[in-house]
């Protein structure tokens, strides 16, 4: 069984992430989507909420799991028996950061490969911050996120504006 992990912050999951996950399961037997606990970021949604939104958005796939992790991504890959780490490359601007991370991860664990996949070009300008910003300004985000995420964003910003 060729298993890979797809780590990220997913605050929240977007159709761009889901596009990468669909491409991943065409190539591998199983993908463990892993929500990173990144102390450098101040997420809008808790880890529990992000996991639950991912689970809801990915429920049609039976070769995908969703969990959270705290620590080194390569340790998590070893723990779950994965052979690689999937990362999405949207634009040249992603390259430098991803290149550094991939090389550092290879230095830390030579047996874990980083595999880059490109999402559909219609998602190349998309990231979670822009979705959070749009939703915070009451703009329609239905082209970018699944309905459950849309609802969660609406609820979160309704509560914030009270």
Q: 116 — phi, psi (to 5°)?
A: -100, 135
List the one residue from 25, 80, 83, 104 that touches ligand COA (CB under 6 A).
104
Angle of CA points 20, 12, 93, to nearest 5°: 55
Contact of 24 with 17, CB cutoff 8 Å: no
Nearer to ligand COA, 3 or 117 (CB): 117
At closest approach, how far in Å is the CB of 149 from ligand COA?
12
Nearer to ligand COA, 30 or 105 (CB): 105
Q: Is 156 a catalytic residue?
A: no
List CB contacts of 67: < 8 A, sequence separation 6 or more. 32, 33, 34, 35, 51
At closest approach, how far in Å is the CB of 152 from ligand COA?
15
Contact of 116 with 20, CB cutoff 8 Å: no
Q: Is 90 a catalytic residue?
A: yes
Nearer to ligand COA, 30 or 88 (CB): 88
List the one residue from 4, 5, 16, 54 that touches ligand COA (CB under 6 A).
16
Q: Which residues in 9-159 belong to E strands, given as ranges?
A: 30-36, 64-69, 84-88, 113-117
At closest approach, how far in Å is the CB of 91 from ligand COA?
10
Contact of 67 with 34, CB cutoff 8 Å: yes
The residues assigned a catalytic role are: 17, 41, 90, 128
Which residues of the shown chain bind ligand COA in the complex (CB under 6 A)?
7-9, 11, 14, 16-17, 20, 36, 38, 72-73, 88, 90, 101, 104-105, 119, 123, 126-129
């Amino acid at each position: 069984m060729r298993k890979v992990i797809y780590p990220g912050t997913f605050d929240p999951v977007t159709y761009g992430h889901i596009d990468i996950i669909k491409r991943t399961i065409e190539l591998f037997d199983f993908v463990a989507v892993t929500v990173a606990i990144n102390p450098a970021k101040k997420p809008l949604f808790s880890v529990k909420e992000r996991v639950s939104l991912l689970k809801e958005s990915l429920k049609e796939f039976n070769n995908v799991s969703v969990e959270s992790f705290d620590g080194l991504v390569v340790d998590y890959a070893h723990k779950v028996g994965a052979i690689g780490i999937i990362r999405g490359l949207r634009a040249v601007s992603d390259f430098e950061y991803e290149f550094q991370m991939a090389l550092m991860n290879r230095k830390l664990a030579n047996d874990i490969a980083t595999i880059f996949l490109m999402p559909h070009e219609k998602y190349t300008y998309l990231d979670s911050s822009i979705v959070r910003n749009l939703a915070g300004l009451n703009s329609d985000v239905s082209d970018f996120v699944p309905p459950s995420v849309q609802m969660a964003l609406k609820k979160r910003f309704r509560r914030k504006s009270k």
